[in-house]
Structure formats: structure tokens, C-alpha cells
């Protein structure tokens, strides 16, 4: 693999008609492979919304707070919120299961708490509603009230059940703020951005900030600053592919926590069919790769996180390759372009 090979890979990401710009960063563990490039209307050094890749940063912070004995994953979430706020967030068939929900349930997406924003409607449809002039803020109390008005998906921790819910990570953000006494964006800065010297990474807060490249929903440029400034814990980080790469490598190489913690994060996987199709562990995702895609050289674990914006951060331990970047498309139609690029590079390295 050489520069021409990687450049072709990122250019091919634009062949998806939903992708107007893309950036791809590829490195291996010792950085003997280290390449970054942009295509279309995004340059390699541009800042972009990493969306739900933010959740991997939440996972790192939660593990570090646990190591400081500030919380336990077995704790009931009721220990961290006023009763009048959190009670009845999970009432199923007349039974209130709220006290049974643990931090681990939130991290695993096994709480059964519904997604406050995308409940019972396609992500694209919900996004279209938001991004067509209906920009609004979603503070935690509003998120909780919305979740209470919706029917839970299943009992907390019910065997074999999983539901991808942004509500879970909004609640994790609230727990982080409770135990630290700080805004979750400042906690990111203290625990992750500053130790890694990530000078191009921050939690989006200023609704007048137009630094990140504009996102797209299909062919429409998106402007939703109130929403983006209010969802810090579930998807509010702005970064670059290079800075995200520094975080990703730190996550998997023991910078934030001992490497044996990774075994805990990956001990149990549940298949999620929406949005997309992937496995979910303890605050981490694994790409589902059908054997048909590479029948003679099966691709093993590809670990990290997708973002709704088409942002990605993944590691393939088998080849020791790391991938970060974005296709900057909220509709969900551009993710396949990033997926194909990642898989092509992994196959070439095997």
C-alpha cells in the first residue's frame, strides 16, 4: 500500500452520490503507515462534527472515573439524579423498572430506555425534520421528559435485547457532570483533549461557531447549532481526522486505562439492526462484516464507533490498522462509502 493506493481509496468515497466531501486517515500501530487525505469539499485538516464517535470518548471517561472510584458500572442510575427527575423513565406494563437500570445498561444500550429523538421513525426522517428549520435545544431534563412519554423497548438487561438509544448517553453525560461537578465538555478537555494535546478538538457549545465544515442531509446543507450545542455527551465533539486518530490509538493502546479493560468492553456483543447493522459491546461498536465480503480472507474484529454524520473511528487489531475520517452525510446513505474504503484497505494488508 502506498500514497497512490490511499488517495484512490478516498477519491472512490466520492463515487457515492450522497458524498460531497470525505477525509480519510490511516495509520498502523508504530506509525510506519501514516496517511491522511481529503476529497471533494473537505480538506484533510478540516474540522468536522464527529457525531456519535463522541460516545467512544464517553466510554473512555467513564472507565477513568471508575478507576478513580467516583462511580461503579453496577450503580443504579437513580443514585445520580433527583428522584423527581429520573423516576418513571422506564415504566413497562405498569411496572417502574427505573431503579433496576445501571450504568452498565446505559453503556451497553441494554437499558430498554427509548431513543428520545428517533423513536419509532427512521433516522433520516427525524433528521430531516430537525434540519429543515426546526433547530432546537435538547437539554437533559427535556430529554428525560421526552423519554418518559415513550414506551420502553424491553426490561433493563433483558437477555438478548439491545436498543441503540441516544438517551442512554445523554444520561451518562449527566452522571459525569454529577460526579465531577463540571460540564461534560470540560471533562472531555481535562481527561482527553489536554493530555493528548488535541488542539483541533473541542465540544461544540457556541451556536455562532461556524468553524466545522457544514454537514449535509442528502443534498441539503445542514444548520442546527442549537441542537448540536445541546447534545455534547451523545455527539457534540468537533475534531479533525488527525486528532481523532490520536484519540483512537490512545484508546486501544493503554493511554487512558490498562489494556485488559478492552477485554471487558468486548466481553459481550449484541447485534443492532438499526441504525445500520453492527455489534454493540460495553460502550464500543464492532462492524458486522459478512463472510461473503471476503470469503477467503475473513475480516476479523473492526472496533470503534460510527457517527450519524458519516464520521468513523475504527481499529482492526489483526492488521494493526487504524481508520478515522468522515463522509459528512447525515442521511445514512454515505456510510457504505467509508465502509468499503476501510474494508478494501484491510483486505490489501492481510
Residue 267 and residue 216: Cα distance in Å, rounded? 36
Residue 22 and residue 336: Cα distance in Å, rounded? 12
Do residues 48 and 243 lie in contact, with contact meaning Cβ atoms separated by under 8 Å? no
Do residues 236 and 229 lie in contact, with contact meaning Cβ atoms separated by under 8 Å? yes
Residues in the chain: 350
Residue 44 and residue 35: Cα distance in Å, rounded? 10
How many CA atoms within 13 Å lie on the side-chain side of 120? 7
The domains located in the chain, with CATH, are 3-349 (3.40.710.10)
Q: What is the pLDDT along the chain (350 residues), one digit of tens a residue?
A: 889 999 999 999 999 999 999 999 999 999 999 999 999 999 999 999 999 999 999 999 999 999 999 999 999 999 999 999 999 999 999 999 999 999 999 999 999 999 998 765 555 555 666 666 678 899 999 999 999 999 999 999 999 999 999 999 999 999 999 999 999 999 999 999 999 999 999 999 999 999 999 999 899 898 899 999 999 999 999 999 999 999 999 999 999 999 999 999 999 999 998 777 899 999 999 999 877 777 777 898 999 999 999 999 999 999 999 999 999 999 888 999 999 999 999 999 98
Edge-to-edge strands, sheet with 237-239? 48-49, 237-239, 202-203
CA end-to-end span of the chain: 11
Residue 23's nearest CA partner among 333, 317, 337, 272 is 337
What is the crossing angle of helices 54-67 and 166-180, to 10°? 40
pLDDT at 326: 98
The pTM assigned to this predicted structure is 0.96
pLDDT at 275: 75
CB atoms within 10 A of CB 140: 18
pLDDT at 276: 77
pLDDT at 295: 75
Q: Which three cell numbers stand for residue 190?
A: 481535562
Do residues 279 and 272 lie in contact, with contact meaning Cβ atoms separated by under 8 Å? yes
Residue 307 and residue 309: Cα distance in Å, rounded? 5
Residue 234's nearest CA partner among 189, 193, 212, 203 is 203
Q: Which three cell numbers stand for residue 141?
A: 431534563
Amino acid at each position: 500500500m502506498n500514497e497512490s493506493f490511499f488517495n484512490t481509496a478516498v477519491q472512490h468515497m466520492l463515487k457515492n452520490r450522497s458524498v460531497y466531501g470525505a477525509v480519510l486517515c490511516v495509520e498502523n500501530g508504530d506509525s510506519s503507515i501514516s496517511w491522511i487525505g481529503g476529497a471533494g469539499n473537505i480538506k484533510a485538516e478540516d474540522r468536522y462534527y464527529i457525531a456519535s464517535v463522541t460516545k467512544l470518548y464517553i466510554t473512555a471517561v467513564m472507565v477513568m472515573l471508575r478507576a478513580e472510584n467516583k462511580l461503579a458500572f453496577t450503580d443504579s442510575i437513580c443514585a445520580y439524579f433527583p428522584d423527581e427527575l429520573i423516576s418513571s423513565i422506564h415504566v413497562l406494563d405498569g411496572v417502574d423498572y427505573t431503579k433496576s437500570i445501571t450504568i452498565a445498561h446505559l453503556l451497553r444500550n441494554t437499558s430498554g430506555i427509548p431513543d428520545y429523538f428517533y423513536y419509532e421513525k427512521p433516522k433520516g426522517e427525524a433528521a430531516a425534520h430537525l434540519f429543515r428549520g426546526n433547530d432546537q435545544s435538547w437539554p437533559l431534563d427535556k430529554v428525560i421528559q421526552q423519554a418518559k412519554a415513550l414506551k420502553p423497548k424491553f426490561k433493563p438487561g433483558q437477555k438478548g435485547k439491545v436498543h441503540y438509544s441516544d438517551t442512554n448517553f445523554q444520561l451518562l453525560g449527566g452522571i459525569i457532570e454529577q460526579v465531577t461537578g463540571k460540564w461534560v465538555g470540560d471533562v472531555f478537555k481535562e481527561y482527553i483533549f489536554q493530555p493528548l494535546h488535541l488542539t483541533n478538538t473541542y465540544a461544540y457549545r457556541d451556536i455562532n461557531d461556524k468553524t466545522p465544515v457544514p454537514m449535509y442531509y442528502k443534498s441539503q446543507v445542514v444548520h442546527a447549532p442549537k441542537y448540536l450545542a445541546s447534545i455534547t455527551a451523545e455527539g457534540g465533539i468537533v475534531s479533525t481526522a488527525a486528532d481523532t486518530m490520536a484519540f483512537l490509538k490512545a484508546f486501544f493502546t493503554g493511554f487512558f486505562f490498562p489494556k485488559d479493560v478492552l477485554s471487558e468492553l468486548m466481553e459481550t456483543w449484541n447485534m443492532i439492526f438499526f441504525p445500520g447493522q453492527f455489534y454493540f459491546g460495553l460502550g464500543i461498536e464492532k462492524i458486522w462484516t459478512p463472510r461473503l465480503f471476503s470469503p477467503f480472507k475473513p475480516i476479523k474484529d473492526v472496533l470503534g464507533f460510527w457517527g450519524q454524520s458519516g464520521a468513523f473511528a475504527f481499529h482492526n487489531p489483526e492488521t494493526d490498522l487504524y481508520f478515522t475520517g468522515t463522509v459528512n452525510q447525515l442521511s445514512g446513505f454515505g456510510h457504505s462509502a467509508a465502509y468499503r474504503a476501510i474494508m478494501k484497505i484491510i483486505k490489501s494488508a492481510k
